[in-house]
Structure 1
């Protein structure tokens, strides 16, 4: 991945941004002809970070295509595994990767004046997290030497262990199958999970107030920082954590069981919830090209003309997509420049193809869940304006209630803040899932798999939330084999280029017009504000995102000095 920017140093802002990808994957091509029962094992390898999210989503699509409903305890086990994955990935990303962008070493190198303020600013929640000043927090975030950095890193081991208890291994699970799971449910299994979970709950009681202090300080120290990474509120969430009481994986009942999820699906446009209907959400996905290295498939085969409810399915829908790669030279001046296509959501009210983003996942999940007001399981509750998270008494800390409130902006700092709150949300939800799994166990309902037969012809779709946001798998089966398969993870939704209408993708849109607060000039520019904007979306392999300055070429445009730079994954 590469983020190419042009920066106007005279006016301290980014004036142009292009998001590129130089690798072609081809999963949609080599999935054809495969046994559909293998879909989750193969697509898990799409990602070395969130492979289990792909496996889970593929299993959801298989369940629909095969017409199978897993036993309830199998769904609780899957939910526990996915909750552990959210806890693991958000924790290690937020505190061991994003946190470095805010650590003492980085702030000293980019904003010495902010470091000076941080040392003098008392932390409002010092009693909860133990750091007296904001400066102390920044020191604790220093990689490898910082106290909080090391504490967070140790937590990643606990959360991986939690995941492996439920799904066998990390990151490519060995116990997920269509129809259920291979995990053997026992009291010992859930107790081992719960012991680790309560340590994480205790950790969250420190993490949430610490990050609130950190992000609140940034607004205070740098007035106007809300504009960094800010874009129009266009958020998408496909929902997470199935409710086995209502979920039968049938397409015809998807509206109902989608709204029964413990993270509510939804499309948010300008801060308003447009729909929570998974049928509506799925049908209006459109895959556009424009600046991508592919030929159009308008004249290719139409695999699905209508959905099981009789609704027409567009040729640009993933069910009907045919991937036709066309390698060519990168052209950032009005031509094609990336292997990423441009997923869009068609807003039928205005007929606009919206470049929705996931906000890195948590901000969209919390926003949709908050507005929908459908979740109330004791440990988490959506109020219509916020999400309340209840964490019970733990080893050394009393019970705590956190409340994530809908922010004023969809920007870098609020994407990061939401990531912290969703860690607490996942932990709270997992407490409920453990209770439900234990109820099934004590009632003697220990069967974890339902038999099925692979149909000769079928279609299926799975909707889930990968760590970084929306994830859907779309499968067409003919003669017992996969005829068409298209997975759409969050990265294409966030990292896509300008489409056929000239609409920039979310990374591009969020970085363009971002103000530059870094105190360094062109000769010593590190691009920290750009990196915070991009990293707030949680791009895959963020540890590889670095600033590369090249020769520092200066462009003369209308007598305004410009500076070309690029940032990308190594």
Structure 2
């Protein structure tokens, strides 16, 4: 059997290696390995728990905000702190726009080139492109002149021999199905999304002081004042600006992102039967109501693709295994560790790079293997949408119903690479429609004179118990993110983060069960082993962020091979 090695997987954050065995044109086995090591948990030991959120942002240069909120919630959970309603509202807006921006970036800049052939756009008729665009949206830039200008810019890239952001893709691949006009439309919107995202994320600058690495999170609430009349607070002018940016975000998602998603999906319906994965889905839910605390997106677990029952999440059933990871546990092989008792003791036993293959029969990744009740779980927008859909969440059911009807497919299509990509778009759509609601809540709260933003009680460590333990969950753009903390004598005794890509990119566990990436690749057709775009499609549908799952490059610093076939 031929073995394909794709290393590194590009258009992601971090270093990911995929090895896959091919037989009769399909993947029959796969291994997901990360070649980086994360050690920030060690840095946190002995520090003040109130400072943890600032350090955990450094898990990643992209997913900074999500680690802030998970860390803050972990400490608040350990110490029994309830934040004021305004703090929840501000946090919802910050996390919501992070979600929206992240999903748009993923679709256009990280995933679209798996489906869109940029070079084909050079052959497109701008008039027909404008007609196509107008048939799916009333976006104001749908004109022949505009698309002709985009095409000329693209030709200039090609003529100079420098494709810039469009380099290193599988142009002309037989698996590409979009007509030239659809490719030109998608290329134009790729460029528009670059400008759009840098504007809407200004909301983080207003509410978080900067992006990335926001500065205003705080155990007990937020460190940003509210006052409609003060120039040194979130005032009426800033609220109006934020409202305008939320409107801009919503318009782009509704009139560009979703129409493009549906247009591309209509040419790739066969991918609704590819990439199903482990069939178990975990979501922590997100966006607490400022009064009731009930989450807008409900938490839950779906087992074996059964949408008739949503199981509650019990954090005590989560454990990480290292039988195929380059770590060692004091309890030995075959033993899982709950995050409160987790260990980060590296022990690399793999070959020295450059190497052709890892020893996949033994240890082959720096990613641990999280399991829920000893089962592998997929996390991410698909899990989030499936749990919400099965829970009767009306906004989700309405959005999913419209998409299934538009594509003329049944709910079973959700369990796939195409379903995973579609779920991310729907998550973005629902969130961008909810953001103005939270904005309105904040405006109303300030108008009636409620300016509370931080709970001062329990800020003093002398009021804390001698020992405490807590966990903080956040449904990040890539899925279920959890931080667990143990506190003793006012300092961090132990800290562990189980991030979305740890769940999804996990290697085999103590039972030999594949992780979600690995399982999702089984059965995938491969048209050209030398250009395995199909592997990229399924792996990118998870939106990997390996920097969150692992952290420091290997000691040798050698560059690894990119794509090999043996």
Q: Verify same fold: TM over 0.5.
A: yes
1:139 lines up with 2:180 in the alignment? no
Q: 1:419 & 1:403 partners in 2: Cα distance?
A: 19
- Whether contact under 8 Å (2:310, 2:391) holds in the other structure is no
Q: Say which of 191, 207, 217 aligns to 1:176.
A: 217
In the TM superposition, what is the alpha-carbon distance from 1:441 to its structure 2 partner? 0.7
Structure 1 match to 2:295: 261
What is residue 236 of structure 2 aligned with on the other side?
187
2:161 aligned residue: none
1:202 — aligned with what?
251
The equivalent position to 2:507 in structure 1, one of 497, 511, 523, is 497
Report the alpha carbon displacement of residue 124 of structure 1 after superposing the two structures with TM: 10
| Aligned residue number for residue 342 of structure 2 | 321
Among 490, 496, 500, which residue is 1:486 paired with? Answer: 496
Q: 3-state SS of the aligned residue for 1:344?
A: strand
Alpha-carbon separation, structure 1, partners of 2:442 and 2:75 = 23
Match of 2:286 among 240, 244, 247: 240
Deviations 1:283-319 (A, max 9, x none): 211111220112223289xxxxxxxxxxxxx972111
TM-score normalised by L of structure 2: 0.78
User: How far apart are the structure 2 equivalents of 1:366 and 1:404?
Assistant: 17
Residue 304 of structure 1: aligned partner:
none
CA contact (8 A) 2:121 2:183 kept: no
Distance in 1 (CA, whole Å) between partners of 2:484 and 2:183 is: 44
Cα pair 1:344 1:355 within 8 Å, conserved: yes
Contact 1:32–1:485 under 8 Å retained in 2: yes
For residues 390-437 of structure 1, the C-alpha deviation after alignment (integer angstroms, 9 at most, x for no partner) is: xxxxxxxxxxx9999855342211111111112111111111101111
Which of the residues 385, 390, 393 maps onto 1:371? 390
After the TM superposition, which of the residue ranges 131-140 and 528-537 deviates more from structure 2? 131-140
- Taking the aligned partners of 2:92 and 2:209, their CA distance within structure 1 comes to 14
C-alpha displacement of 1:246: 2.6
Question: 1:499, 1:131 → 2: CA distance?
Answer: 53
The answer as to 2:420 corresponding to 1:410 is: no
- Distance in 1 (CA, whole Å) between partners of 2:74 and 2:563 is 44
Displacement of 1:183:
2.1
Q: Name which of 342, 345, 359 aligns with 1:332.
A: 359
308, 312, 316: which one pairs with 1:277?
312
Deviation at 1:387, TM superposition (A): 7.3
Separation in structure 1 between the aligned mates of residue 25 and residue 561 of structure 2, nearest angstrom: 17
What TM-score, normalized by structure 1, do the two folds share?
0.77
The CA deviation at 1:324 is 2.3
Which gives a bigger RCO, structure 1 or 2 (Cα 8 Å, sep 6+)?
2
- The match for 1:5 is 19
Q: Which one of 92, 102, 118 corresponds to residue 115 of structure 2?
A: 102
Aligned length: 477
Question: Once superposed, what is the RMSD of the aligned Cα atoms?
Answer: 3.2
**Contact 1:40/1:59, CA 8 A, preserved across alignment:** yes
CA distance in 1, matches of 2:65, 2:108: 22
Q: Cα 1:122–1:52, aligned 2, differ >3 Å: closer, same or farther?
A: closer
Whether the 8 Å CA contact 2:280–2:301 is kept in 1: the answer is yes
State whether residues 36 and 482 of structure 1, in contact with CA within 8 Å, keep that contact through their aligned partners in structure 2: yes
Residue 29 in structure 1 maps to residue 39 in structure 2: no
Judge conservation of contact 2:102–2:477 (CA < 8 Å) in 1. Answer: yes
Give the distance between the partners of 2:493 and 2:407, measured in 1 at CA: 47
Query: Are 1:549 and 2:554 matched, yes or no?
Result: no
Q: CA deviation at 1:46?
A: 0.5
Is the counterpart of residue 14 in structure 1 residue 27 in structure 2?
Answer: yes
**2:133 touches 2:185 (CA, 8 Å); kept in 1?**
no
Does residue 231 (structure 1) correspond to residue 277 (structure 2)? The answer is yes
**Residues 442 and 323 from structure 1, CA distance in 2 versus in 1: closer, same or farther, beyond 3 angstroms?**
same
- Aligned pair 1:449/2:454, yes or no? yes
What are structure 1's unaligned runs of at least 5 residues?
Answer: 113-117, 248-259, 301-313, 347-352, 390-400, 554-570
| Cα offsets for 1:491-523 (capped at 9, x unmatched) | 10011101110001111111122112x3xx45x
**Residue 30 (structure 1) shift:** 2.2
CA apart distance, 1:122: 6.5
Partner Cα distance (2:321, 2:427) in 1:
31
Give per-residue Cα distances to partners, 1:199-252, cap 9 Å, x unaligned. Answer: 121112222122112112212xxxx433432224211111111222133xxxxx
Cα distance, 1:189 vs structure 2: 2.3
Q: In the aligned structure 1, how far is the partner of 2:94 from the partner of 2:308?
A: 29
Where does residue 252 of structure 1 map in the other structure?
Answer: none
**Cα gap change, 1:22/1:332 in structure 2, threshold over 3 Å: closer, same or farther?**
same
SS at match of 1:68: coil
The answer to whether the Cα contact below 8 Å between 2:368 and 2:502 also exists between their aligned partners in 1 is yes
Aligned-residue offset at 1:68: 1.6
Tell me if 1:515 matches 2:548.
Answer: no
**Cα deviation digits, residues 96-118 of structure 1 (max 9, x gap):** 22112222237799xx9xxxxx9
Q: Cα distance, 1:159 vs. partner?
A: 2.2
Checking the alignment, whether the CA contact within 8 Å between 1:286 and 1:316 is kept in structure 2 is: yes
Aligned mates of 2:508, 2:143 — CA distance in 1: 44
Secondary structure of the 1:458 match is strand
Structure 2 residue matching 1:213: 3-state secondary structure: helix
Is 1:511–1:530's contact at 8 Å kept on the other side of the alignment? Answer: yes
* 2:258 is aligned with 1:213: no
- Could you tell me how far 1:327 is from its partner in structure 2? 1.6
Change (3 A) 1:13 1:107: farther
Give the equivalent residue in structure 2 for 1:155: 196
Measure the CA separation in 2 of the matches of 1:234 and 1:465: 16
